[in-house]
Each structure stands twice: as structure tokens, then as C-alpha cells.
Amino acid sequence: MLPSLRAGQCCKSTAHHFAALCLLLGLLATSLSADPRAIPPNTVITLQRGACEKRCAVYKVILFADGTCIYQGQYYVRKTGVVLEKVDAGAVKRLINDFAAIDYFRLRDQYGITDQVGCSSMLSDAPIAMTSIVAGQKSKSIVHHHRCVGPVPKQLSQLEDKIDKLANTVRWIK
């Protein structure tokens, strides 16, 4: 048998439950939008290549969290000037994971520029690549002279190539 209710009691009880449910759904939505795996909106990734004794392509690529891609070709490239493109934001997130996979924020600021620390050997001539990332509260940049050969420089070269691949720079530089 159901307990007897006074007039209006059912509505008040239901209204309180509804308000509590709305509050819980609001908290859930807030926690979902604050997903720690989401791309920080201030994310900016850059790659700049160039500076060698031979005719190396000199250009810069900038990638943003929303997938905006800016290419600026300078010398020895097919396309000089600025190009604005769009890439998959999910691919930018995967690229952030690639930075994390090589522990980018703990690497040295330079390889093969002023000393040979981190280099197992040195080549005679090679281009320079500069990478940087800003994501959330972290930022870091690395200058990598490709004459520096070793395990960490190899990881940096692979990361640089991934940035190039995501931006599809081959269409502008070759």
C-alpha cells in the first residue's frame, strides 16, 4: 500500500529530485568538457627547417589545436609565401602524444649547435630543424642540428618528420 500524500507534496518531492538530477547532469557535463585528454586550446606546435651549406629547403610550419596549419616557405621550396590550411584536430592530438612519447619537455634545448652532448657522432654538413610546443601550462623548444647523430637526435628527426607529414609540406617544398 502506498503512503498517503498531502496535496502538493508529490510535486515538491518530484521538483527536488528533478533539480538534483539537473545538478548532477550539469556536474557530469562539466567534468566531461574538462577532459584531461582533450587538446589544450592554447596548443601551438612549430617546425622550422633550413640553414645548411647546400640548398636546403627553408620553411616554417605552425599547427594549432583546432587544426589550423600555417606554412611559410622562404628559400629552395616550390611554394614561397604563406599558405593557410586545415588538418585533422585529432591528428594534432596524436602529435602531442608523440611529443610526450619522447619526453620532449625533458630533452636538452639544443643538439649539435654549441657542443656535442647527446651526439654519438657528428656529420660534416646537415640542415637545422627547430621545433617547439606550447600545450596547457607547458612550453619547450629545441634546436636540432642534423649533423648530430645519436638516439635522441634520431627521435627528434622522427618527430620533425611527423610534423611535416601532418602538415603535408611535401606538396610545397618539392
Q: Under 8 Å CB-to-CB from 81, ≥6 apart: which residues? A: 72, 73
Sequence letter at residue 118: G
Look at 50-54, 82-86, 126-130, 155-159 and tell me which has the smallest mean pLDDT: 50-54
Which pLDDT value is given to residue 2? 39
Q: What is the residue extent of each domain of the chain?
A: 9-35, 44-173
Average pLDDT, the chain: 83
b/e code 120-138 from CB counts within 10 Å (16+ = b): eeeeeebbbbbbbbbbeee
Q: Under 8 Å CB-to-CB from 157, ≥6 apart: which residues? A: 129, 144, 146
Q: What is the CATH number of domain 44-173?
A: 3.30.1560
Which pLDDT value is given to residue 39? 87
pLDDT tens string 38-53: 889 999 999 999 977 7
Task: Calculate the alpha carbon distances from 65 to 62, 90, 91 in Å.
Answer: 10, 9, 10
Q: Under 8 Å CB-to-CB from 89, ≥6 apart: which residues? A: 39, 65, 66, 67
Give the residue with greater pLDDT, 47 vs 55.
Answer: 47
Give the residue with greater pLDDT, 124 vs 84.
Answer: 84
